[in-house]
């Protein structure tokens, strides 16, 4: 479907569990993103990695912890989540051209549907 | 308040009709992008229009940008049932350094 894959596609977890979401892009891009999409709300940017460096943390609670080991892989580690964290989590990638440059088109993965019980 | 807001929130038309969706934003932008999302899936990029462009075409899609009114419109001509999806505008604000998405327009095309 696209050059961005996400696993797992569906995840159900309890509030005390620890789990990780994985994203991989096969497009040679240098920027990767995590978004949260809740029902009836706009897409919320969570984290941005440019050239493997975190350049944006959009006031995300510490129970969400991103990791970007290389420019192709992005993880979102989850622990002690709340029921209101249930949402579709989308990963995206793009090719950016350095600080201050405009954002190009982003390529999205299919998302992970997360349910927190 | 959010940068991009779509109008209408929902639109239902018959196959073959044209669909027009509008997006308004608040601050100066580098570019504005439109995306489509089928139910529960990832977003797919449709078209990017830069701040110095006024109109852009891609197949059955036509996007206009009016920077004086801070608004954009997406026109889908001769719609098909397969066009049923949510459509989002996203703005790359000159100050802020990130892409901000609106709430989207849910388009339903009935066969």
| Among chain A residues, CA nearest to B3 | A42
Cβ distance B45 to A106 less than 8 Å, yes or no, reads yes
Contacts of B88 in chain A (CB under 8 A): 43
A23: nearest Cα among A90, A87, A85: A90
| CA B42/CA A103 separation, integer angstroms | 18
Q: Which positions of chain A have pLDDT values less than 50?
A: 1
3-class DSSP state for residue A67? strand
The closest CB to that of A113, out of B2, B40, B99, belongs to B40
- The total of other beta-carbon atoms located within 10 Å of residue B54's CB is 10
Cβ distance B30 to A102 less than 8 Å, yes or no, reads yes
pLDDT in tens, chain B (111 residues): 456 788 899 999 999 999 999 999 998 888 999 999 998 888 999 999 999 999 999 999 999 999 999 999 999 999 999 999 999 999 987 665 678 899 999 999 999
The closest CB to that of B41, out of A100, A105, A111, belongs to A111
B48: nearest Cα among B67, B33, B27: B33
CA dihedral A69, A75, A79, A85 (to 10 degrees): 150
Give the position of tokens 């809740």.
A38
**Contact assessment for residue B51 and residue B67, using Cβ atoms and an 8 Å cutoff:** yes
3-class DSSP state for residue B41? coil
Q: Answer whether A108 touches B (CB < 8 Å).
A: yes
Residues of chain A with pLDDT > 90, as a percent, come to 68
| Among chain A residues, CA nearest to B5 | A42
Which pLDDT score, from 0 to 100, does residue A104 have?
A: 79
Mutate to test the interface with A, among B30, B40, B99 (most CBs of A within 10 A): B99
| Among chain A residues, CA nearest to B29 | A102
**Contact assessment for residue A116 and residue A86, using Cβ atoms and an 8 Å cutoff:** yes
Q: Answer whether A92 touches B (CB < 8 Å).
A: yes
Cβ distance A2 to B42 less than 8 Å, yes or no, reads yes
B74: nearest Cα among B54, B86, B89: B89
Which pLDDT score, from 0 to 100, does residue B1 have?
A: 43
Instruction: Quote the minimal CA–CA distance from A103 to chain B in Å.
Output: 6
| Among chain B residues, CA nearest to A2 | B44
Which pLDDT score, from 0 to 100, does residue A99 have?
A: 63
Which pLDDT score, from 0 to 100, does residue A1 have?
A: 47
């Amino acid at each position: 479907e696209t050059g961005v894959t996400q696993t797992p596609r569906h995840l159900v977890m309890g509030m005390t569990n620890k789990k990780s979401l994985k994203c991989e892009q096969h497009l040679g891009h240098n920027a990767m993103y995590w978004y949260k999409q809740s029902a009836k709300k706009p897409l919320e940017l969570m984290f941005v990695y440019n050239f493997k460096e975190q350049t944006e943390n959009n006031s995300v609670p510490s129970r969400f912890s991103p990791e970007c080991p290389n420019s192709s892989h992005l993880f979102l580690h989850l622990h002690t989540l709340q029921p209101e964290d249930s949402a579709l989590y989308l990963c995206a990638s793009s090719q950016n051209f350095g600080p201050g440059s405009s954002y190009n088109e982003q390529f999205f993965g299919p998302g992970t549907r997360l349910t927190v019980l | 308040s959010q940068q991009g807001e779509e109008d209408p929130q929902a639109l239902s038309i018959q196959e073959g009709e044209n669909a027009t969706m509008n997006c308004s934003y608040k601050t100066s932008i580098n570019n504005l992008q439109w995306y489509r999302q089928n139910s529960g899936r990832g977003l797919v990029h449709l078209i990017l229009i830069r701040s110095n462009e006024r109109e852009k075409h891609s197949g059955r899609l036509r996007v206009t940008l009016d920077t004086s009114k801070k608004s954009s419109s997406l026109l889908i001509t001769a719609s098909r049932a397969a066009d049923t999806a949510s459509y989002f505008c996203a703005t790359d604000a000159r100050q802020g350094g990130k892409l901000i998405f609106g709430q989207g327009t849910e388009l339903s095309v009935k066969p």
